[in-house]
Amino acid sequence: MILHIDMDAFYAAVELRDDPDLRGKPVVVGGSPRGRGVISAASYEARKFGVHSAMPSSQALRLCPNIVFVKPRMDYYADISKQIREIFFDFTSLVEPISLDEAFLDVRGCAGLFGDSVSIARQIKSRIKSETNLVASAGVAPNKFLAKVASDLEKPDGLTVVDPDAVQEFLDPLPISRIWGIGKVTERKFKTMGVQTVAQLRQIPEASLQAKFGINSSHFWKLSRGIDSRQVVPDRDAKTISHESTFARDIYDVGALSAWTLELTDQVALRMRRYDIVGKTVNLKIRFNDFQTITRANSLTEATNSTNVLADIANTLLERTLTRGGKPNFDRGIRLLGVGVSNLKSPQQFVQKTLFDHEDREKQNRFDQMSDEIRDRFGHSSLRRGTSLEHEIRHRPDPRVDE
């Protein structure tokens, strides 16, 4: 069975844990509402007012005038994420991180050591709670899609199990929005056809889906039947290391997307360095609110795992794709953004081209290695990288926004 472990309101939960005065209040982690800040995470109290991640901070303040803003501490959250991931590795080596706050685990074959998959999920949730004082939700299912859907159904602190012999009983009553790739635009198209549940979607002939949704029809047809053949792929075995984020609400602001691009790239580069992997191709994935997905890629002359180099390429791809003359050149909202690096090899497999390239690359490698060592020893917040003002992602002694 596959487990999907998802930390509940992770960034916000960390801040609530660390500052008891915030508990019970509507709290968001994000940039200042006085600027062009964006919400990275919202507590469950804030969500009751309609506040969600990727929302402009100014809009969140309008929805909830007494909301409490906390500046993100991404390096600190990464420290805690690493601690949680070590718990996963105590049960299985087949761990595929999706972001700082979620991962897939393949626990098939672990029953002899730790019990069945449901027991393992309970043990992981218990250890996360006891060792970090944070709460996670878990989905247990025959594949990744079903596990992901299951983990989201009973938040917070949920544990949902999908019986392999009762997949349709699990899926059929759910709204079609639970199918990956069905956003608001696609959902409206389905509703014009009288389709609101997975059971109703499943009754549509495949040919009719093809006529209405084109290349996406096969995707919808398979997922409505719980079919997902993807395997859990650990970083060390991956052909591509990537991170992506699906936004609760569509984003139209290029500056906010640039901030997310940097955040995603930093997570990818850190994972590459942990496994001593370098890559030559930077990949950018953009999914619009009508489910059209475009990918862009750029190959480097020299393989690298440098955050700065990879982020420069990723943001260049973003700007070329979405702007013209320095101004936004798209009228559809973006619901998903992803950054990945492919053509992965060990550093020894690449030959340096010139002495200048070698010296420049070695200088950057020494900087990244020194940064990682300092962070591993003293915590991520002991050394920080300049990041986008859109999110104001930087650590300060008091992370709350001064009024």
What are the distances in angstroms from CA 80 to CA 13, 74, 134?
12, 10, 10
Instruction: Name the CA dihedral angle for 261, 104, 50, 315, rounded to a multiple of 10 degrees.
Output: 0
Kindly report the CATH number that applies to the domain delimited by 168-223: 1.10.150.20
Active site annotation includes 206: no
pLDDT digits (tens), the chain, 403 positions: 999 999 999 999 999 999 999 999 999 998 777 766 778 889 999 999 999 887 888 889 999 999 999 988 877 888 898 899 999 999 999 999 888 889 999 999 888 889 999 999 999 999 999 999 999 999 999 999 999 999 999 999 999 999 999 999 999 999 999 998 787 778 888 999 999 999 999 999 888 888 888 878 888 999 999 999 999 988 777 788 888 887 867 888 888 888 889 888 988 888 888 778 899 999 999 988 877 889 999 999 889 988 889 999 999 999 999 988 778 888 888 988 999 999 888 776 554 444 445 555 555 556 666 666 665 555 555 555 544 444 443 333 333 333 3
Kindly report the CATH number that applies to the domain delimited by 1-143+395-403: 3.30.70.270
Rounded-to-integer distance, Cα 250 and Cα 317, Å:
20
In the chain, how many H helices and how many E strands?
15, 14
Domain range summary for the chain, segments of one domain joined by +? 1-143+395-403, 168-223, 235-351
The CATH fold of domain 235-351 = Dna Ligase; domain 1 (3.30.1490)
Catalytic entry in 96, 102, 263, 392: 102
**pTM, to two decimals:** 0.72
In 3D space, the residue among 189, 210, 218, 3 whose CA is nearest the CA of residue 98 turns out to be 3
